[in-house]
């Protein structure tokens, strides 16, 4: 039994890992179009002044409360290398009318639950605060079906709280537009809190008390390996080397089905390949393209999932060149501020080991849904997920301008790295649950085909790992082969 997996990001690598553990396949092949493994996980370790800058071009940490990331790291022997965020300087700021104001304390599940701290906050007017208080008395609304995140938060906490507080936090995760994002597909637990407790703040407070302020089984809610997330990719590749046929520079163009033999025919840009089972661990729009000639209906559903393009710009400075102390994890920028940047992470405060002593590393996140990156074409004119050092680029200029305006930084950075990610962030917009139903229904016809990745049921690294594992489970069970996978973890 041959299994082929397309896409060597964290999803495809995880799928290959879990497939190799089943001992069910005579041959496992992992095909990656790029010349390196990891997809959006792109760590650069830059030697500097006797130490290193650890620059993350894509994700920089993963959530510990979703267990699949921690579990995989444990299996790969990385547990001891996982660091939490700096517990000593935990401030997070919100840009408000051009100034940084602290986020109120007591955020639980992204919902403010500490009333005195809200009352003290300058992020909201007194009218906005009073409107937030209505959350305690407004009855749960009888909503027929889904609603947008923006509508939901606005009707519970008021529009001001949504725009000044919640939107920037949430759009930092999806680079999305909250007025388009589906509540059911992004933060379904918020609706559960409303239904169960009749109030978001009361529900969030309850959940916080139950967990006693701590995330179960971990030191911090966010974790990352010592020298960057690439450690996970490297450990996966190392463990797969002897068991899986690993092929870089192998772009799949199309897939067709041989009905007589019950096999899948893959057309690559250089050769072709036949396999019994197939997992597509590529972004949904790519999977749609690959499947277009074989099942246009499935392909069209996949291509209906929109993706936003984003970029990160990392800049290094001498601490002595900074006009202010970077006393926290950074700041988020509400859409209404009209800035080109979405957020700014003070990386070397959040994870102190990511910069040599005496230096600061800052990362500016640019681009979000409805606020495209253009006009900032890369030299090749394509928004491919390329990594390149473009000191003269528009993106670098945007990042430097953001740091000048908000932090007063005028010094030239000692080094900078620009990462462009075209169509990288899936947008689980209104209608996403229906799209998933269409996709699932179409897949029922093909027991030996599975889809995995960030386009469907979770964008974070732990979700991607889990989706890779579930794809293997589906394929393995459907072929009636013995499945020795660990039991599927339940969602939190
Ligand atoms: C800037 C940024 C910051 C983020 N921050 C975080 C964070 O802090 N924490 C977090 O948990 N998540 C974060 N995310 C989300 C997370 O990084 C992604 O959802 C996740 O890495 C996606 O993994 P994947 O394997 O599904 O897809 P990808 O990483 O996109 O991998 C897909 C792979 O398929 C390959 N491929 C494409 N087409 C073909 C083809 N035709 N043939 C063969 N191979 C092909 C690609 O080259 C790629 O390697 C962030 C994402 C971005 C872009």
Give the domain CATH number at 278.
3.50.50.60
| Ligand 1 atom nearest 57 alpha carbon | 1
Residue 108 lies in a domain: yes
Q: Name the nearest CA neighbour of 3 among 280, 278, 282.
A: 278
* pLDDT tens readout for residues 222-280: 999 999 999 999 999 999 999 999 999 999 999 999 989 999 999 999 999 999 999 99
* pLDDT tens readout for residues 347-400: 999 999 999 999 999 999 998 777 666 544 443 333 333 344 443 478 999 999
Pairwise CA distance, residues 293 & 103, whole Å? 50
Cα 282 to ligand 1 centroid, rounded to whole Å: 8
Residue 362 lies in a domain: yes
Instruction: Give the domain-ending residue among 388, 404, 426.
Output: 426
Residues with CB under 6 A from ligand 1: 6-12, 31-34, 39-41, 58-62, 251-252, 281-283, 286, 290, 310, 312, 421, 424-425, 453-454, 459-461, 464
Cα 9 to ligand 1 centroid, rounded to whole Å: 6
Residue 483 lies in a domain: no
User: Crossing angle of helices 149-157/167-174, nearest 10°?
Assistant: 160
Cα 13 to ligand 1 centroid, rounded to whole Å: 11
Q: Are residues 319 and 418 in the same domain?
A: yes
Residue listed under structure tokens 């992470």? 345
Cα 460 to ligand 1 centroid, rounded to whole Å: 9
| Ligand 1 atom nearest 452 alpha carbon | 26
Q: Which domain holds residue 466?
A: 2-39+231-305+429-478
Please count the structural domains in the chain.
Answer: 3
pLDDT at 489 over 70: no
Residue 199 lies in a domain: yes
Residue 381 lies in a domain: yes
| Ligand 1 atom nearest 461 alpha carbon | 11
DSSP per-residue string spanning 207-254? HHHHTTTS-TTSSSSEEEETT-THHHHHHHHHHHTTTSEEESS--EEE
Nearest CA to ligand 1 atom 17: 59
DSSP per-residue string spanning 297-338? HHHHHHHTS-EEEEEEEEEEEEGGG-SS---EEEEE--GGG-
* pLDDT tens readout for residues 157-177: 999 999 999 998 887 788 889
Q: Are residues 352 and 458 in the same domain?
A: no
Pairwise CA distance, residues 316 & 229, whole Å? 19
């Amino acid at each position: 039994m041959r299994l082929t997996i397309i896409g060597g990001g964290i999803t495809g690598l995880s799928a290959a890992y879990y497939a190799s553990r089943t001992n069910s396949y005579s041959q496992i092949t992992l095909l990656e179009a790029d010349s390196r493994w990891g997809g959006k996980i792109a760590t650069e370790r830059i030697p500097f002044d006797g130490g290193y800058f650890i620059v993350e071009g894509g994700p920089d940490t993963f959530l510990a409360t979703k267990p699949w990331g921690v579990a995989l790291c444990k299996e790969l022997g990385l547990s001891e290398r996982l660091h939490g965020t700096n517990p000593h300087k935990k401030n997070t700021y919100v840009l408000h009318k051009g100034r940084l104001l602290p986020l109120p304390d007591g955020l639980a599940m992204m919902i403010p639950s500490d009333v005195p701290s809200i009352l003290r906050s300058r992020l909201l007017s007194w009218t906005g605060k009073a409107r937030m208080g209505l959350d305690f008395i407004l009855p749960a609304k009888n909503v027929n079906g889904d609603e947008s995140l923006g509508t939901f938060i606005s009707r519970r906490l008021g529009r001001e709280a949504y725009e000044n507080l919640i939107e920037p936090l949430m759009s930092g995760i999806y680079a999305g537009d909250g007025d388009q994002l589906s509540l059911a597909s992004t933060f379904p637990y918020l609706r559960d809190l409303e239904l169960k407790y009749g109030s978001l703040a009361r529900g969030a407070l309850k959940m916080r008390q139950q967990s006693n302020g701590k995330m179960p089984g971990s030191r911090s809610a966010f974790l990352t390996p010592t020298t960057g997330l690439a450690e996970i990719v490297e450990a996966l590749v190392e463990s797969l080397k002897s068991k899986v046929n690993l092929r870089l520079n192998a772009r799949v163009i199309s897939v067709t089905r041989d009905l007589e033999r019950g096999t899948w025919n893959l057309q690559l840009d250089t050769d072709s390949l036949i396999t019994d089972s197939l997992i597509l661990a590529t972004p949904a729009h790519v999977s749609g393209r690959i499947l277009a000639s074989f099942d246009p209906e499935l392909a069209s559903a996949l291509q209906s999932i929109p993706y936003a393009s984003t970029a990160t710009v990392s800049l290094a400075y001498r601490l002595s060149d900074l006009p202010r102390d970077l006393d926290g994890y950074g700041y988020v920028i509400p859409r209404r501020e009209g800035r080109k940047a979405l957020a700014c992470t003070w990386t070397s405060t959040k994870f102190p080991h990511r910069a040599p002593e005496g230096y600061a590393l800052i990362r500016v996140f640019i681009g979000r849904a409805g606020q495209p990156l253009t006009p900032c074409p890369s030299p090749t004119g394509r928004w491919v997920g390329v990594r390149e050092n473009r000191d003269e680029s528009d993106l670098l200029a945007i990042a430097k301008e953001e740091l000048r305006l908000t932090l007063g930084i005028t010094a030239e950075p000692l080094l900078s790295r620009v990462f462009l990610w075209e169509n990288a962030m899936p947008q689980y917009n209104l209608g996403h649950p229906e799209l998933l139903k269409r996709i699932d229904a179409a897949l029922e016809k093909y027991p030996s085909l599975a889809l995995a990745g960030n386009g469907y049921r979770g964008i974070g690294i732990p979700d991607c790992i889990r989706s890779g594992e579930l794809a293997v489970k589906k394929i393995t069970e459907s072929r009636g082969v013995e499945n020795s996978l660990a039991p599927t973890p339940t969602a939190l």
